[in-house]
Structure 1
């Protein structure tokens, strides 16, 4: 279904102009064409996955904005609010893709950095700049990023 959607987006882009904007518009139009095609929407998980991907992207962008504002506030004020800590996050993620995506998202978020994975692949070690409660930080990562990544990839 993704291939069909990309093909429809490519056709749209070829008929209009070669630009990223037209590719996005073509992708959205292709998505709706496939959605309303008889029998296709009910036979594929593609439509559910696209929705999950969009929700994950929205969640990540919100978390990115919050973390950026927190770091910017700390940099611009004379009093530092940092409480840095290295934490071990117990993982429910099992595959290389799940663990790698979690580590990437944590590292892309300002104020956090994925450091290492344990040899048994059950714990992800991170450095976080703002840890007033280690358990709350673990919960935020597990219930926020990890849960959504597992929903997206499984």
Structure 2
């Protein structure tokens, strides 16, 4: 049986045993189910792909929220201070993500981050045009996007 479905069933069982089908109870049940499946992995066999993918998704979510907070503070600081640091530019970012879901997720996460906006994906799906509000060093922006957002999405979606 699929480990994710088993994990959902364990979360439902936990909620039933605790007598509360709240979001918090289901979340606690999901975490406990995950830990149980991880501990039982040597007995039930199978590849550890589910656990690795879950780790990559959690890391993607946490790191996106970190980037969201940092970039929001940067934009707010630029707005409230008298000296504006914004040097906008359009940057070409080569894409390593190959799946439709991965490209869609990368472009949307970049657009959701304040100070950046995904403009277009090249027809060959190898290049992404990004408008950056603080583009003093386009190579640094390109490197940050490749080694940050795109890498996290690629690990979560394509592994």
TM class by shorter chain equals over 0.9
> CA distance change for structure 1 residues 87 and 41 in 2, over 3 Å: closer, same or farther?
farther
Give, in whole Å, the separation in 1 of the partners of 2:45 and 2:141: 39
Find 2:8's aligned residue among 6, 9, 26. 6
Find 2:39's aligned residue among 36, 40, 50. 36
Give, in whole Å, the separation in 1 of the partners of 2:97 and 2:107: 11
The aligned counterpart of 2:66 is 62
Find 2:79's aligned residue among 75, 79, 103. 75
Q: Which runs of 5+ in 2 are unaligned?
A: none
CA RMSD for the aligned pairs? 1.4
Give, in whole Å, the separation in 1 of the partners of 2:43 and 2:11: 21
Q: What's the TM-score, normalizing by structure 1?
A: 0.93
Q: Which runs of 5+ in 1 are unaligned?
A: none
Give secondary structure in 1 for the equivalent of 2:101: helix
> What are the superposed Cα offsets for residues 18-43 of structure 1, whole Å, 9 maximum, x if unpaired?
22111211110010111122533653
Q: After TM superposition, which residue ranges in structure 1, 4 or more long, deviate above 4 angstroms?
A: none
Give, in whole Å, the separation in 1 of the partners of 2:157 and 2:44: 21
TM superposition shift of 1:112: 0.8
Q: What's the TM-score, normalizing by structure 2?
A: 0.90
94-103 vs 40-49, which moves further: 40-49
Give, in whole Å, the separation in 2 of the partners of 1:127 and 1:30: 42
Give, in whole Å, the separation in 2 of the partners of 1:21 and 1:41: 30
Give, in whole Å, the separation in 2 of the partners of 1:32 and 1:40: 14
Say whether residues 1:27 and 2:30 are aligned partners. Answer: yes
The aligned counterpart of 1:114 is 118
Contact kept? 1:41, 1:47, Cα under 8 Å: no
Say whether residues 1:88 and 2:95 are aligned partners. Answer: no
TM superposition shift of 1:44: 3.7
How many residues in Structure 1 have an aligned counterpart in Structure 2? 154
The aligned counterpart of 1:135 is 139
